[in-house]
A and B are shown apart, each in its own frame.
Chain A
Amino acid sequence: MMFAVAAIALFASMILVMIRLFAGPTLYDRVIAVNVFGTYTVLFIGVVGFLAGRPDFLDIALLYAIINFVGTIAVLKYFRYRAIGDLRPLTRKEETGL
């Protein structure tokens, strides 16, 4: 019963975060919304695992936490530096010589 209530509450929070994701005025609102949605997914997998009587779902939740962290850092680096590696983007002058 307790886990069912927690799952419903998490689901309602995920819907609110989705609203912020689509309505977010700036890029950083959307990035934070995706990150928080990932955190809620981690919690939801854990709660559903205990609800179904399979605590080994926690491994999957841990994996989601890692992938969420890596993905958020990658997206933020891309939008800050316009590159995922070491190289800066070429300016128009460097690329075309004009």
Chain B
Amino acid sequence: MSRLVVLSAGMRQPSSTRLLADRLAAATTAATGAELEVRTIELRELGHDIVNATVTGFAAPALQEVLDAVAAADGLVAVSPTMNGSYSGLFKSFFDVLGDDALVDVPVLIGATGGTARHSLVLEHALRPLFSYLRAVVVPTGVYAATQDWGAESGLAARIERAGRELAAQIAARPPRVVLDPLDEPTPFEQLLG
């Protein structure tokens, strides 16, 4: 079974960021022929651990478990509220402690929420470059939801459905992820000696 991890950096409860994340996860599941195991993570609950990991260099057990889950995911939905024209600091900090190899070749669906549609390019100017740096495979459709999208026929549902289809296709195109831990399989020393 493929594993989908859904990250929401929403701050309030209920949160429109979480709402969008859930809709994107549902669309991905609906578009997936095979079974999909979905795990949803609220970064808010890990806020202190994320800051502590930034300061100390190691993650507390609860955060480490989530980092491991993300590093083993076959697909990722990542949704942030827009803050000062970018993703939230907590959202970025999570990926700073995740490490830069964890998402290589992993399909990612990006989403963002904001007060008005004027911020919608946050997806292209902030989120997409972050995941490009991490060498993730970001699906073409990112979904931005402004507050008024939740009460209008603005095509949000269609965008969500298209994005979910794209992510499901990318997950299906890859064999299930096998995570190699160098602590289990070290590079033999003769090889290190060159």
A binds B: no
Instruction: Give me the interface of B with A, judged by CB distance under 8 Å.
Output: none
